[in-house]
Chain A
Amino acid sequence: MARQYLRKPPVKHKTRGLRRSIGNRSEIPMNREEDAKQTGSCPSQQDFNSCPICLGPLVQESYLDTCFHKFCYNCIVHWSRVVASKRTRPSSSVKCPLCKTENFSVISGFDGTCFQRHYINQDFENRFTFSKAHKYRLQCYYSEPGIVNDIFDVLRFWKSRKYLQSNVWLHGWLKRELQTLMQEEDVDVVVHHIHGVINSFLRRIEQTHLLKKPAEAKQDNFRTAVFDAAKPFLLARTDRFVNEVELFLASGLNIDAYDAVYMQRLGWNTPGGTTSTKPAEEPSQHVGVVPYLYIFDIDSDGAE
């Protein structure tokens, strides 16, 4: 029954596809690069921005995580359910309708700063969704570094040895931060690791040679330790992450209070403030951080 050579779905260029398939059997399964080239050279803008499933304009643009072909969110989710219902064994992947690449999740709602990720064949209702707080944290990473430096004096934290008091909120704060940056719900292992590194560093500081060193040296050592611990998980965002950890520790505030201060500086009133409502707020209120402007500068995931 199965006929391998006809399995590739069609390319957009109709006449070319036909000639080729009739003319030369070996050329029927066109490879992906070729596909991409053809779609790329496609003169019709509409073709490029339409969903291959409904053929209409993209609604809630979504991408598959491996091949990055785009579809309407509903279309691709429906299709992945149809595929799942046909299988005898549950599978966590779906083949791209265009190129047959195996994909494991659908990426949607990408607005320049954050996105949502839905794993195939997991209950879509029980998925991990980004809360408003996560989104706000991600926005922070797109803002200019140091916008709250004048509020929280990091150096004083080291000089006056504030680190001697343990910070009970650090664990919860780290968890949310790592969930935000790694786009994963289950980050407990990483949280445990980094939390452990920070705590043991702060505890040992009094017993080691660092005690007599100036605050700057302590700070440097701390930054290196956290950086090394977080680097494998956060890649290009590690530097900024270390900054944020230090700021949070220096603030000595709990999570809510810290967020309130941070958001006020960002120009947000509540964690509910979305980017779309932001321009509506009075622009004179503050210098205003427009996260969009920094996307391409700072978002260098994996570029290192």
Chain B
Amino acid sequence: MQASRARLFKEYKEVQREKAADPDIQLVCDDSNIFKWTALIKGPSETPYEGGVFQLAFAVPEQYPLQPPQVRFLTKIFHPNVHFKTGEICLDILKNAWSPAWTLQSVCRAIIALMAHPEPDSPLNCDSGNLLRSGDVRGYQSMARMYTRLAAMPKKRLAARIILITGQSNPV
């Protein structure tokens, strides 16, 4: 308990100190509970998630860093390895390949890398996985882009485009 608290406090200080170091990740600790964090990550460029801002929720166990934090997407995202309803993420380093040398910050980075390189062979979102596995990259990309615009973009830009999107492609 004490160890995890101390370590999270170190990470908190590190995040405060290097706020500007990584503009793609914004980690915020809950005001009242150091075991609850949220992160805002920017969708990587040249992916369907570009331009979107995705919110992640971290629940850190008391055994941290010996146990991995639980992370899920709060923002809706269409991705083979993210559960469409719950936001659960299928990523080995959050499960059996966890190492205590990872930090919350680096986990965010791993998730960004996962967004850029989906792994359709271990899907949590079968629709998305099937599109990629059947070779329909374009179908996957347009679906993912649509949900990025619907769920992960600031509202004012969204308003202008929403008609455009719904007119173009029909969700299944």
- A interface residues, Cβ below 8 angstroms from B: 1-7, 9-10, 14-15, 17-18, 21-22, 25, 28, 52-56, 75, 78-79, 82, 86, 95, 97-98, 100
Q: Is the CB of B110 within 8 A of A6?
A: yes
Cα distance, A7 to B101, chains bound together (Å):
12
Can you name the residue of chain A whose Cβ is closest to the Cβ of B113?
A21
Q: Is the CB of B122 within 8 A of A79?
A: no
Nearest CB on B from A13, distance (A): 9
Please report the number of residue pairs spanning A and B whose Cβ atoms sit closer than 8 angstroms.
Answer: 100
Q: Is the CB of A1 within 8 A of B92?
A: yes
Q: Is the CB of A15 within 8 A of B22?
A: yes
Nearest CB on A from B43, distance (A): 10
Provide a sorted-by-A list of 9 A–B residue pairs whose CB atoms are within 8 angstroms: A1-B90, A1-B122, A6-B97, A15-B22, A18-B22, A18-B24, A54-B10, A56-B6, A86-B96
B91 contacts A by Cβ under 8 Å:
yes
| Residue total for B at the interface (Cβ-Cβ under 8 A) | 40
Interface majority SS (helix, strand, loop, mixed), chain B? loop
Cα distance, A5 to B63, chains bound together (Å):
26
Nearest CB on B from A237, distance (A): 35
Name which of B7, B14, B110, B114 has the most chain A CB atoms within 10 A of its CB.
B110
Q: Is the CB of A17 within 8 A of B109?
A: yes
A28, A54, A95, A98: the one contacting B7 at CB < 8 Å is A54
Contact with A along B79-119 (1 / 0, CB 8 A): 00000000000111101110111110110011011101101
Q: Is the CB of A3 within 8 A of B113?
A: no
Cα distance, A175 to B143, chains bound together (Å):
73
Name which of A52, A55, A79 has the most chain B CB atoms within 10 A of its CB.
A55
Nearest CB on B from A86, distance (A): 8
Q: Is the CB of A10 within 8 A of B117?
A: no
Cα distance, A82 to B91, chains bound together (Å):
20
B21 contacts A by Cβ under 8 Å:
yes
Which residues in A have their C-beta under 8 angstroms from that of B10?
54-56
Cα distance, A23 to B111, chains bound together (Å):
14
B44 contacts A by Cβ under 8 Å:
yes
Which residues in B have their C-beta under 8 angstroms from that of A52?
100-101
Q: Is the CB of A6 within 8 A of B18?
A: no
Cα distance, A48 to B97, chains bound together (Å):
24
Which residues in B have their C-beta under 8 angstroms from that of A15?
21-22
Q: Is the CB of B97 within 8 A of A97?
A: no
Which residues in B have their C-beta under 8 angstroms from that of A79?
66, 100
Q: Is the CB of B110 within 8 A of A14?
A: no
CB-CB nearest 10 A-B residue pairs: A10-B106, A55-B10, A21-B113, A97-B99, A9-B101, A97-B101, A52-B101, A53-B100, A9-B99, A3-B92
Cα distance, A292 to B167, chains bound together (Å):
80
Nearest CB on A from B93, distance (A): 6
Can you name the residue of chain A whose Cβ is closest to the Cβ of B122?
A1
Which residues in B have their C-beta under 8 angstroms from that of A10?
101-103, 106, 109-110
Which residues in A have their C-beta under 8 angstroms from that of B21?
14-15
Nearest CB on A from B97, distance (A): 5
Q: Is the CB of B113 within 8 A of A28?
A: yes
